Amino acid sequence: MKTYQIRYFAILREQRGLAHETRPSAAPDAQALYQELQDEYGFTLPVDRLRAAINGEFAAWPAPLADGDEIVFIPPVAGG
Amino acid sequence: MPFRIISQPIQPAALLHPQAGACATFEGWVRNHNEGQAVDSLEYEAFAELAEKEGERVLAEARERFDLLAVEAVHRVGHLQIGDLAVWVGVAAAHRGPAFDACRYIIDELKARVPIWKREHYASGETTWINCATRGDFADKTPPTAS
């Protein structure tokens, strides 16, 4: 079991009802962690429409995780 | 910092350079309609740490690809009203060709890659996170522009 710091933005923040949480999980990577969270909170975006950022930098799926990592799931962007 | 996320109104930067004969700028404004809906206002949110890093990378790429003398860009976050300036890009170069080309490259890449999101507020009182729909034809479209 590891402990992760998860930050949420935009539609995910709204659907989770939080901007940040500390979560213990057995998920080995960000993809598995998202599936776990999606099952629990009903996130509408499928994982293949997201990008992952670990410790402040983009990471390629499945994005392996280490204990204490900060994960951000990035919904489709819409700047401009 | 040539690319910044800010929450205050954008003050377009000075790009004066003695060798520059051209300055091209792009302003993205909040407009009152999108996809046939009447828009009241727009809310922008950013993952600021990564947005600034990725924005810096876009500007660095522009410097590599085009012959530029100065380059700067800024994106605003928060709740913006119709007519507000949401994003500003400015480049200076010896000649107009690279200035125009770089300006276009930068805004296109910023819109495609930088972790910034916008939520439209409609006259009906409803809101939508742009580009985050999961059903309907809206989901696969490129995000609409504020320009």
A56: left (phi over 0), alpha (psi -120 to 50) or beta: left
**Per-residue pLDDT reduced to its tens digit, B28-57:** 999 999 888 899 999 999 999 999 999 999
Say whether B132 and A77 touch across the interface (CB within 8 A).
no
Residues of B with CB under 8 A from a CB of A: 28, 44-47, 49-51, 53-54, 75, 86-87, 107, 110-119, 129-132, 134, 139, 143-147
**Per-residue pLDDT reduced to its tens digit, A8-39:** 999 999 999 999 999 999 999 999 999 999 99
Task: Work out the minimum CA distance from A53 to partner chain B, whole angstroms.
Answer: 8
Using CA coordinates, name the residue in chain A closest to B88: A80
CA A17 to chain centre: 14
pTM as predicted: 0.91
Say whether A77 and B44 touch across the interface (CB within 8 A).
no
Q: Angle B96-113/B48-65 helices, nearest 10 degrees?
A: 150
